[in-house]
Chains A and B, each alone.
Chain A
Amino acid sequence: MGPSGDTIPANREHEFGEIPGSATGRGIAPITALGGRAPVNLDLSGHKSRGMQERIVGVLLWICGALSLLTTAGIIFVLFQQAFVFFQQIPITDFLFGTTWTALFKTPLYGVLPLVSGTLMITLIAMLVAIPLGLMSAIYLSEYAPNRAREILKPALELLAGIPTIVYGFFAVTFIRPDILVKIFPGIGPFSALSAGVAVGILTIPLVASLSEDSMRAVPRSLREGGYALGATKLEVSWQIVVPAAISGIIASFILAMSRAVGETMIVALAAGSKAQLTGNPLEPMQTMTGFIVQAFSGDMVVGTPPYLSLFAVGLLLFFITLALNLISQKVVGRFREAYE
């Protein structure tokens, strides 16, 4: 479309955009390098409104971008504000170090440790499931799988990742416990940290697998070929060359999976039970931080009462734990990234 004259028909303008003036007529068209700012006030087209329109659009888009900051500010403000009111009634040390959580009982005690230990237990079980299976899947998909196997296995993992968590919760209660776990651990109750943890683990396998696979695929071919040239088997190349080279992405995927497990809610609400207790036995029912929030809202909640406010204190703790994990995973990626170029 050579702008050789003022010959672009008006009805085709939408194809080319508004072409400001004609290049031949007025000499300079506003050429900008990509990184620079467009000279929005350089109006060569005679459309007086163009500069104004550009500026308005720019501001609107800026607002869209800034809204995400407002969301974060909103989360922090709401959680802090309500938690602050809560800590005026319940000393923060009682909250952090208390060993009994009976917030919804007649004589409430707000010691958060049982909820924290329940969360840790379920996260631990989930990681015992997700890390080996996820990492092995990643190694297989990245290093071994022939195309045909990939074409089936990758979508299966993606499907698994797309299933709503409430479905996993149902699956934990109606299949994982009665058909699998009861046969191995006859003492397991109807609700337990173990069945919830296994389901959360299955939920996070695709996360570990796909992130680890991405970082293993980014390892350059020459490294593998170097290994083969030295007589290494495929396993030795995978395990002793590719995995160490991709370790930053792999560890980051573990940490992200952990953060996901800590924040997982509906599986825990259905399968782990609602008994907040400080125990090391995974066959017992346990309550997590998220589980308590769900349980509280499944009943009646009076706004402003200590049980209501305690939700925000628990939410604040949850927010900080997941934020810390996410920040650590970002740091890990940055710190140990090997640059091959």
Chain B
Amino acid sequence: MSSPTMFGPRAAVLPRTAGSSNVNGRKTTAAIIQGILFVATAFAILVLAALIWDITSAGVTWLSLDLLTNTSSRRAENAGLRPALLGTLWLIGLTAVFAFPVGIGAAVYLEEYAPVNRWTRLLKTNISNLAGVPSVVYGLLGLGVFVSLFAAGRTIVSGALTMALLILPVIIIASQEAIRAVPPSLRQAAFALGATRWQVARDHVIPTAMPGILTGIILSISRAIGETAPLLVVGAAAYVTFNPTGLTSRYTVLPMQIYEWARRPQQDFQDLAAAAIIVLLALLLMLNAIAIYLRQRFSNRVNW
């Protein structure tokens, strides 16, 4: 930090403090504001702590193996999450199958293949706008196209297709960034050896960009797991007492079950919702740990 010299604090570029030659006063203000800024930032931690306390204090006594293995029930003490857990696994697995190849393919196209012209610009603008469309609108799209037009009904496959469209922009944008970070020299070396464009992408660019792509993929999966609104619209059922059996089965998912329980007025169901939230958050935490692990592992492999 600079102490005022003979040029003084009357710096012309700082009109709002011009004239306030009270150096100590200015320094005190700066220190106070620094404290306020710190508190504002730490507010995030405060909220996190309150949220975790709120949920565990309500839900922890309801955590049990029965919660994971029972089906939903009208009686809180018998109610469990099995159909919702299985539904989430089915839905997310299927979403991944639909979304990953297309998402990575689109990113490879945009970064490695697409010529610089209006068409490509249009694609890029379109993708960033799609990322900003509210998720409930994707629900309406799924309802109009998959449920009605393709007559797939209120089934897992409609839900997964809707979810795939929802997370596609996230995957594309993250993969694009990872691919862009691959140094051009790597591509040039491969081209110089006569590799074709696809060989360069398949054998060099994609493997090198893999840690970044994986991180993006897992983030998008986390988003999909927590998403409720679009599934509500395309017909995840609120009350399901059976396991999903296949692509055309009716289903529910974890956040849907949480919503259903949290809406009931009875305290027991409120607490049950909190317990289900603990399960959901644990699942998300696990996924993020995997993301960090994979990123470490893959990035150790490539040394420049």
A residues in contact (CB < 8 Å) with B: 3, 14, 16-21, 23, 29-32, 34-35, 37-38, 40, 44, 50, 53-54, 57-58, 60-69, 71-72, 74-75, 78-79, 81-82, 132-133, 136-137, 139-141, 144-145, 149, 152-153, 156-157, 159-160, 162-167, 169-171, 173-175, 179, 202, 205-206, 209, 226-236, 240-241, 256, 259-260, 262-266, 269-270, 290, 293-294, 297-298, 303, 311-312, 315, 318-319, 322-323, 325-327, 330
Contacts and interface: CB of A to CB of B under 8 A. Distances in A.
Given A78-B140, A136-B40, A318-B137, A231 B2 contact: yes
B14 A232 contact: yes
| Main secondary structure on A side of the interface with B | helix
A318 B45 contact: no
B210 interface: no
B248 to A, nearest CB: 19
Nearest to A43: B196
A315 B169 CA distance: 20
Contacts of B168: 67-68, 71
A229 to B, nearest CB: 7
A117 B144 CA distance: 27
B41 interface: yes
B44 A166 contact: no
Interface in B235-284: 235, 238, 255, 258-259, 262-263, 270, 273-274, 277, 280-281, 284
Nearest to B21: A231
A35 B40 contact: no
Contacts of A293: 136, 139-140, 229, 233
Contacts of A75: 133, 137-138, 140-141
A150 B141 CA distance: 41
11 contacts: A3-B193, A32-B191, A37-B197, A58-B113, A61-B108, A74-B144, A79-B137, A136-B37, A149-B38, A159-B48, A165-B228
B37 A140 contact: yes
Contact of B129 (A38, A67, A72, A74): A72
B280 A232 contact: no
Given A29-B193, A32-B197, A75-B133, 9 more contacts: A19-B195, A30-B194, A74-B145, A136-B36, A164-B280, A164-B284, A170-B274, A231-B5, A327-B129
A136 to B, nearest CB: 4
Interface string B82-121: 0000000000000000000111011011100111100000
Contacts of A235: 26, 29-30, 33-34
A78 B145 contact: yes
B210 to A, nearest CB: 16
Interface residues of B, number: 113
B215 interface: no
Interface string B155-189: 00000000001001100100000000000100110
Contact of B196 (A38, A229, A297): A38
Interface stretch (B50-58, B62-70, B71-79, B294-302): B50-58
Most-contacted residue by chain B among A14, A228, A235, A256 (CB, 10 A) = A235
Contact of A319 (B41, B137, B238, B277): B137
B24 to A, nearest CB: 11
A30 to B, nearest CB: 6
B197 A175 contact: no
A330 B125 CA distance: 9
B304 interface: no
Nearest to A55: B198
Contacts of A141: 41
Nearest to A39: B196
Given A30-B196, A64-B105, A152-B45, A175 B226 contact: no
Nearest to A326: B132
B124 to A, nearest CB: 9
A162 B284 contact: yes
Contact of A231 (B7, B50, B113, B233): B7
